[in-house]
Copies of this chain bind each other. A is one copy, B any other.
């Protein structure tokens, strides 16, 4: 081996004076190996600084230790948190995640998926149920395990892990009604791309209508959710409907923005206007008044998905739905 050649199994085998296959078995802890042989091989590996070539391994064994992960975005803190859960669950395994970002675009998801599948991953983790037909077909045809995250309000391809956003919206409505609020407004963001926000909205409306109530005003920002959008959109909403007593936001980012608007405009939060979010982000809980919201266990969703997927290398007969639930965080803003 010259100085600049990368060592391979062959080099290790030669140095240890055994066959390549024996080295391979030592590395993978497979089959019986005499202690003496093992230590000789391990020493050779160390000496050469050998790192196995996984491309070769994956080719030979037709299967890799990769998990494909498709996330809609990284700018919404929610998804990095899911990713953290995924990483945490993978940390004790030999699997590696391979992350793609779709920007909420089903066609881009399809493209990235096909690049991911080219690596023969053991499983694919994706978000929600909005896939193109081609995506669905690719996932069905390849025999990889598939987890669809965040949402459980539809039938999964294989495993779904998340919470019922409709129920979360409903619970929000009930909570506010029980607290005595009656004149409701809604501040949202562009939900063409965000099915889950729409589901929460539906659940909310259902809770209201069951009590003979309805949203008196509604304002949706035409773009992704952000604190700034929440601040400005609440201002617009109040300009149109100054007499509402509670505002439900599409999520915490928007709600925190709403809180800042109230602060700047001198509106007494809760007493004059209740604010309610969704997600239970840290930032909402450190406001001078902790935000009333719904906790969606993002880390748990990521972690659970990995655990479910690794339970079995093949798809079970029955589709699996794991409800990671949600909790109302009472806070002080509603």
Query: Are A53 and B260 neighbours in the complex by a CB distance under 8 Å?
Result: no
**A314 in contact (CB, < 8 A):** no
Chain B residues contacting A56 (CB-CB under 8 Å) are: 55, 59
State which of B52, B55, B80 has its C-beta within 8 Å of the C-beta of A77: B80
Q: How many angstroms from the CA of A59 to the CA of B227 in the assembled complex?
A: 47
Scan A130-147; emit 1 where CB is below 8 A from any B CB, else 0: 000000011001110000
Query: Are A231 and B286 neighbours in the complex by a CB distance under 8 Å?
Result: yes
**A263 in contact (CB, < 8 A):** yes
**A287 in contact (CB, < 8 A):** yes
Chain B residues contacting A286 (CB-CB under 8 Å) are: 227-228, 231, 256-257, 260
**A119 in contact (CB, < 8 A):** yes
Query: Are A141 and B80 neighbours in the complex by a CB distance under 8 Å?
Result: no
Interface centre among A52, A77, A80, A94 (most CB of B within 10 A): A80
Chain A residues 225-275 with CB under 8 Å of chain B are 226-228, 231, 256-257, 260, 263-264
Chain B residues contacting A119 (CB-CB under 8 Å) are: 54-55, 96
Partner-binding segment picked from A97-105, A158-166, A168-176:
A97-105
**A323 in contact (CB, < 8 A):** no
Query: Are A83 and B74 neighbours in the complex by a CB distance under 8 Å?
Result: yes
Query: Are A142 and B6 neighbours in the complex by a CB distance under 8 Å?
Result: yes
- A118-B53, A227-B283 known; A75-B84 Cβ under 8 A: yes
**A10 in contact (CB, < 8 A):** no
Chain A residues 5-31 with CB under 8 Å of chain B are 6
**A37 in contact (CB, < 8 A):** no
Other 5 A-B pairs with CB < 8 A, given A257-B286, A283-B283? A52-B118, A74-B80, A227-B283, A228-B282, A263-B263
